[in-house]
Structure 1
Amino acid sequence: MTDAETLAERVKAGDLRLYALEDHADADTAAAARRHLLAEELDVDLETVGDYSFPADSAESNVENLIGAAQIPLGVAGPLPVDGEAADGSVYLPLATTEGALVASVNRGAGAIRAAGGASTTVLERGMTRAPVFEVGDIHEAAAVADWVRASLDRLATAAETTTNHGELREATPYVVGDSVFVRFVYDTKDAMGMNMATIATREAADVIESETPASLVAVSGNLCTDKKPAGINAIEGRGRSVAADVFLPTEVLEDRLGTTAGAVAEVNTRKNLIGSARAASLGFNAHAANVVGAAFLALGQDVAQVVEGAHAITSVEARKDGLYASVTLPALAVGTVGGGTGLPTQSEALEILGLAGGGNPPGSNGDALAEVLAAGALAGELSLLGALAGRHLASAHAEHGR
């Protein structure tokens, strides 16, 4: 038997735990052993799952019980010209998706933006959040703790920043609910998405709150952050990077590239994205921004669950005398160019396509540029879908592509 088969037999016999195989073999052999075990027990063929191009040990910080890789088709849309504070120039946007016609749609929107001279972008706010919850005796203690937090930002920042070389605590806002006190910490995490950085720093700051007030920490995350869940506080206050993109499409560009008019697009946006979303009590007022955000997150090594926050986008459209003004604002885009999945070989290569792999100079500039590029990509996607709906050719486009 091969080493992998031997390890699989030891797991079946109860001699080894599935998660402990790397203690007895290299990472690739451990993964092969898990595939062999599953193939025998479940009568499945995992040949394709095991056909991956990166060293298994390079993924040790990203996944446990590795068996291989899930391959998702990867395309590019562009060139997409972006005139931003951090991003400047034409880019090809990598998108990983299984949804047919998505890349083609974004590519069509990028063509319209290109014909109009490019999209303008800007990062409006930066701040990754973590909000622990504390227990106190009563509302009087809660008020006292909240007052202490408001007066002690410098002391909390000193404690929090001992845990990181780059993160900076910018805000600490208390919220009282009966005998619970939540403190929403906001950090500038530079080029990292920063969720882990914020969690570790917040734990240190929480120790100071416990030592100086009657508060007792219940959980380092009290869901007022709010991470990976639809939340009004993120839509209003922002989380990660708040970013916007806009463009003016002349009448001839609308007709040639999107096959419609400014008035028709504006009406679709008003009735669908604004009135329809309001009637549904949606936290996002857009056509399909999450489509672009999700596909880009998969391609670029971002935390894909945070597409939830990315869906809080608002698309604004106005018919003007000579064409159409359009913008998209994403208040809570959690992105980074270092850490997490950005170091995986495929995702690193995708970031290289954008010229944004690794940390920026100055720190934070690559993260800002990535947010701006994704905002421009989301704008391209919004324009394409709104144009297809306004021109009544969405269904025919899907039928033409057979999907």
Structure 2
Amino acid sequence: MPMTPTEPRRRIPRDTDNDYSPEAAARRRDFVREQTGVELHHMGQFSQATDQLPGNIEHFTGVAQVPVGLAGPLRMIGEHAQGDFYVPMATTEGTLVASYNRGMRLLAECGGVRATVVDEAMQRSPVFTFPDALAARQFGRWVVDNMDGIRAAAEATTRSGRLRDIMQFAIGPLRYLRFNFTTGDAAGQNMVSKATLAACEWIRDQHPDHPAFVLSGNIDTDKKHSQINTLLTRGKRVVAECTLKAEAVERIMGTTTAELFRVRQISQAGAFIAGSANNGAHAANGLTALFIATGQDVANVSESHAATTYCQLLDNGDYYWSVTLTSLIVATHGGGTGLATQREGLEMLGCHGRDKSHKFAEICGGVVLAGDISLSCAVIAGDWVTSHDRYGRNR
């Protein structure tokens, strides 16, 4: 029931002693029923231990149940991900799991996915302000000369974060500092915020002018796509590649490698015209489904879906296909990865816990490659619309 402007604000119930208890959640569901008339029967059914939720959510009321399908095996021959993996994908889009499963079949018959993490960094981008551009430029030199002190201040706040370098950008009297950290097996946004704040406070205290700063000047582009992250990497930069056999493409996908290459040229031009962040098919589909199933911060798909596809039609008729994910932000430790169902999703892949983030990143690359291959072939072979008619409509 909507409020009128003159009514007092109806506050959501809270328990100051234990706001994560099943009883506190039940009171909020009762509140919803009183205010809206809706009974949250399904949201109130869950197996998650509520005492594990602090740090993941506020005003806990229930759960959103998303169907999980299984695709695979995804055959990986990466640096860290090696062997066959069965991939949990949480989605409500019919045909998605079937399509990724078909791509994985083709990849397995063609030898699997080669994958590697080629770069990694997580950023925060503070801005220091000065009276004029000259003072800002001189400050930039001071930062370079005092890198040891800045690094020590930043790294004192974290066990696993390491300050790799600081990039600088000049705009008028402003100096943007793009701090690049490695963050171990965590996604690391909160980690680098805390570390960068400590570094900026050290800079302000130590610099003779004690300059003012803003902790983020928005060139870290947190949870927003940007060209700077496509070029310079945010999270992990992952390359997944394969060589598709001409015979297998015809038998399984109903098209030819020559036709794949011809249509690739068309789609490259289309992506260029559109200014697309991804010249492939649909990386966001597979990443979102995998992120939900494994406890990733799903908003990071806004950055993680950016990708560049590069292909070659080989002299023998086979087809080289690679996808480079430029800004893949994933974690195997911390955040939502320790919650009950999400942990199970990571454990299925052997990717829960420390020293597993590169393995998981390679699997993400393999999943995107499988999905892009399957959808691209379906569009050419005429299966795209008919498969959605068959699997993707609730009648």
Q: TM-score range by the shorter chain?
A: over 0.9
User: Which residue number in structure 2 is paired with residue 6 of structure 1?
Assistant: none
How many Å separate the matches in 2 of 1:151 and 1:298? 44
Cα offset, 1:267, TM superposition: 2.1
1:104 has 2:94 as partner: no
State the Cα deviation string for residues 149-174 of structure 1 (Å, max 9, x = none): 22332221111110011111001111
> In 2, are the aligned partners of 1:139 and 1:178 still within 8 Å (CA)?
yes
Q: Deviations over 1:14-45 (max 9, x none)?
A: 8x953632526662111110110111110001
Conserved? CA contact 1:309–1:332, under 8 Å: yes
> Structure 1 residues 26, 401: CA separation in 2 closer, same or farther (over 3 Å shift)?
closer
Equivalent in the alignment of 2:17: 23
Aligned to 1:76: 70
CA distance in 2, matches of 1:215, 1:108: 59
Determine which of 136, 139, 145 is the counterpart of 1:142: 136
| Alpha-carbon offset, residue 216 of structure 1 | 3.3
Q: What is residue 187 of structure 1 aligned with on the other side?
A: 181
Specify the SS of the correspondent of 1:21.
coil
State the match for 2:311 in structure 1.
317
Contact 1:132 1:217 in 2 (8 A): no
Specify the alignment match of 1:369 in structure 2: 359
Corresponding residue for residue 94 of structure 1: 88
Equivalent-residue separation in structure 2 for 1:286 and 1:309 (angstroms): 15
Letter in 1 for 2:283: A
Aligned to 1:265: 260
* Cα distance change, pair 232–94 in 1 and its aligned pair in 2 (3 A): same
- Tell whether the 8 Å contact from 1:314 to 1:330 is kept in structure 2 after alignment: yes
On the 8 A contact 2:113/2:242 being kept in 1, the answer is: yes
Give the counterpart letter for 2:255 in structure 1.
T
Question: Residue deviations 1:103-148, cap 9 Å, x none?
Answer: 1111000000000011100001011111112221111111011112
AA partner of residue 247 (structure 2): E
Please list every run of at least 4 consecutive aligned residues from structure 1 whose deviation after the TM superposition is greater than 6 angstroms: none
The answer (yes or no) to whether the contact 2:136–2:175 under 8 Å persists in 1 is yes
Decide which moves more: 389-398 or 149-158.
149-158
Residue identity matched to 2:319: L
Deviations 1:231-268 (A, max 9, x none): 11100000110001000011111011211101111222
**What TM-score results when the alignment is normalised by the length of structure 2?**
0.94
1:152 aligns with 2:125: no
Which of 198, 217, 221 is residue 216 of structure 2 equivalent to? Answer: 221
Q: Render the CA deviation track for 1:272-324: whole Å, top value 9, x for unaligned.
A: 2x111110112221110111111111111111111011121111222222311
| Residue equivalent to 1:3 | none
Q: How does 1:4-15 map to 2 (within 5 A)?
A: none
Residues of 1 paired with 2:138 and 2:39: CA distance?
62
Q: CA deviation at 1:219?
A: 2.4
1:284-363 equivalences under 5 Å are: 284-320=278-314, 321-360=316-355
Provide the residue aligned with 1:283 in structure 2: 277
Q: State the match for 2:379 in structure 1.
A: 389
| Contact 2:12 2:31 survives alignment (8 Å) | no
User: Retained in 2: the 8 A contact 1:49–1:70?
Assistant: yes
Corresponding residue SS for 1:248: strand
Match of 1:178 among 160, 172, 175: 172
SS of the residue 1:163 aligns to: coil
Assess if the C-alpha contact under 8 Å between 1:126 and 1:188 holds in 2.
yes
Q: Is the 8 A contact 2:258 2:317 kept in 1?
A: no
Q: Secondary structure at the match of 1:20?
A: coil
Q: Distance in 1 between matches of 2:210 and 2:281?
A: 44
| More helix per residue | 1
CA RMSD between the two structures: 1.7
Contact map agreement 1:22 1:30 (CA 8 A) in 2: no
Q: Structure 2: 5+ residue runs without aligned partners? A: 1-6
Q: Which amino acid aligns with 1:118?
A: G
Q: Distance in 2 between matches of 1:19 and 1:124?
A: 48
Quote how far apart the aligned CAs of 1:270 are. 2.0
Cα contact 2:296–2:330 (8 A) shared by 1? yes
Q: Cα deviation per residue 1:375-403 (whole Å; 9 max; x = unaligned)?
A: 00000001001111121211111112143
Does 1:203 find its partner at 2:197?
A: yes
Cα deviation, 1:340-376, whole Å, max 9, x if unaligned, reads 110110100000000111112xxxxx11111000000
TM-score, structure 1 normalization: 0.92
Give the aligned partner of residue 237 of structure 1.
232
Range moving further from structure 2, 379-388 or 220-229 = 220-229
8 Å contact 2:20–2:54 — kept in the other structure? Answer: no
**Aligned-pair identity (%):** 39
Secondary structure of 1:92's match? strand
**Comparing 149-158 with 289-298, which one deviates more in the overlay?**
149-158
Residue of structure 2 equivalent to 1:8? none
SS of 2:15 mapped into structure 1: helix
In structure 1, distance between residues paired with 2:21 and 2:392: 41
Q: How many residues align?
A: 385
315-324 or 59-68: bigger deviation: 315-324
